């Protein structure tokens, strides 16, 4: 086990190593966005180099696309791929039914499109992301720039009839200017504290004019791989009911993330 990695980095690393074990030759893969997904892209590139895997990736952001290309992973568009075998991505929260909150990295729209265009979605995460009820992490919604303040007001009004504890929202900023997604939109973060009915909320939010998509991923994730700081990985499969655990050992020379 490498002593150069912090416990949280070790958790991300071993979860990523385990996730890419599910990749098979010839697959078309959705490549997620975020700090954990970046580890997965590195682990995938390592398998491609060492085993000669013939796979292609559909990135969910320009950041992921740039990283994948720099590591020698062939990148294509979703339109070129048409359908994917597997998407591997991170999450900001997940519950016992493997429903997710995603979008902390601002790529929720492309992430949801890619994930739903896949036969299977695997989420890689750490134990701190598992919650009894979604909502402690702010729920992102992607909104078009035109009339975003009106959209924000309409969303807050809609939250009044929802089973949530909080109803406030904030425009996500990038320094002194609004954050802009790859699609040229803004992100409004909803501070809900606790979501009682995530399925209902997801449907209601997408009915608000100006809302492009929300960060609730319902019935999309098939498997969650949870990494731990001691090298353990736990696999939870919502389809088979599997809940297994193993330890992934790696030497210090295996640390391919020294530059992160």
Contacts 24+ apart (CB under 8 A), 146-155: 146/210, 147/210, 148/186, 148/188, 148/210, 150/210, 151/188, 151/208, 151/209, 151/210, 151/211, 152/188, 154/208, 154/209, 154/210, 155/188, 155/190, 155/205, 155/208, 155/211
In the residue annotation, 156 being an active-site residue is answered as no
Q: Which of 24, 46, 97, 111 is catalytic?
A: 111
| SS3 track for the chain | CCCCCCHHHHHHHHHHHHHHHHCCCCCEEEECCCHHHHHHHHHHHHHHHHHCCCCEEEECCHHHHHHHHHCCCEECCHHHHCCECEEEECCCEECCCCCEECCCCCCHHHHHHHHHCECCEEEEEEHHHECCCCCCCCEEEEECCCCHHHHHHHHHHHHCCCCECCCEEEECEECCEECCCCCCCEEEEEECCCECCHHHHHHHHCCCCCEEEECEECCCCCEEEEECCCCEEEEEECCCCCEEEEECCCCHHHCCCCCC
Cite the active site residues. 111
């Amino acid at each position: 086990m490498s002593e150069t990695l912090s416990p949280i980095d070790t958790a991300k690393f071993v979860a990523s190593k385990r996730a890419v074990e599910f990749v098979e030759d010839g697959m078309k893969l959705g490549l997620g966005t975020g700090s954990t997904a970046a580890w997965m892209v590195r682990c995938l590139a390592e398998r491609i180099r060492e085993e000669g895997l013939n796979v292609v990736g559909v990135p969910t952001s320009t950041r992921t696309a740039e990283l994948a290309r720099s590591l020698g992973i062939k990148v294509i568009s979703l339109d070129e791929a048409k359908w994917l075998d597997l998407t591997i991505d991170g999450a900001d929260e997940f519950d016992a039914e493997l429903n997710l909150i995603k979008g902390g990295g601002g790529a929720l729209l492309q992430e949801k499109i890619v994930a739903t265009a896949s036969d299977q979605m695997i989420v890689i995460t750490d134990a701190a992301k598992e919650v009894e009820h979604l909502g402690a992490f702010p729920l992102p919604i992607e909104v078009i720039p035109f009339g975003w303040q009106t959209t924000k007001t309409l969303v807050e009004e809609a939250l009044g009839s929802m089973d949530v504890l909080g109803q406030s929202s904030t425009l996500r900023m990038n320094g002194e200017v609004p954050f802009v997604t790859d699609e040229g939109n803004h992100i409004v973060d909803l501070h809900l504290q606790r979501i009682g009915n995530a399925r209902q909320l997801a449907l209601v939010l997408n009915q608000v004019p100006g809302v492009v998509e929300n960060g609730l991923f319902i019935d999309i994730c098939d498997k969650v791989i949870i990494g731990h700081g001691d090298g353990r990985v736990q696999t939870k499969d919502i389809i088979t009911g599997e809940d297994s655990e193993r330890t992934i050992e790696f030497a210090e020379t295996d640390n391919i993330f020294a530059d992160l």
